[in-house]
Amino acid sequence: MARLFPARGWVDLGAQVSAGSDFPVGQFGAMRSVWGMTTRQTVIGVKGPEHAISNDEALALHTANAARVTGEEMLLGTLTPGRLADLTVWHRDPAQCPTSCVT
């Protein structure tokens, strides 16, 4: 479990990494994904803290990097004039949440 999705190492190596969620199909929406990548918190405690990435890096994996991986970086992924916008407003910063605010 501690080695699952070692984002820090991949980002540091310059790998083309992206992230996403299956919400509402599953229980793990983007807020939980960002929270998990930044805190490495799991239902059984913190696992693999050396693989944690910053909040900004986690958000980039879900936005600009996801668009780049799908070849849509000229259409979406950043808030840029002329590009499609898909906004999410969260009630709290996922990097600062206890488990209860990301469920």
pLDDT in tens, 10-37: 999 999 999 887 666 566 678 888 888 9
CA distance 17 to 35: 17
CA distance 6 to 29: 19
Spacing of C-alpha 52 from chain mean position: 11
pLDDT at 103 over 80: no
Q: Which residue has the tokens 């898909």?
A: 86
Length of the chain: 103
CA distance 93 to 76: 23
The maximal CA–CA distance of the chain, rounded, in angstroms, is 44
Look at residue 25 in the predicted model and tell me its pLDDT. 59
Look at residue 26 in the predicted model and tell me its pLDDT. 62
Spacing of C-alpha 2 from chain mean position: 17
Residue, of 86 and 3, whose pLDDT is higher: 3
pLDDT band for position 4 (50/70/90)?
confident
Q: What's the pLDDT tens digit per position in 40-92?
A: 988 888 999 999 999 999 999 999 999 999 999 999 999 999 999 877 787 77
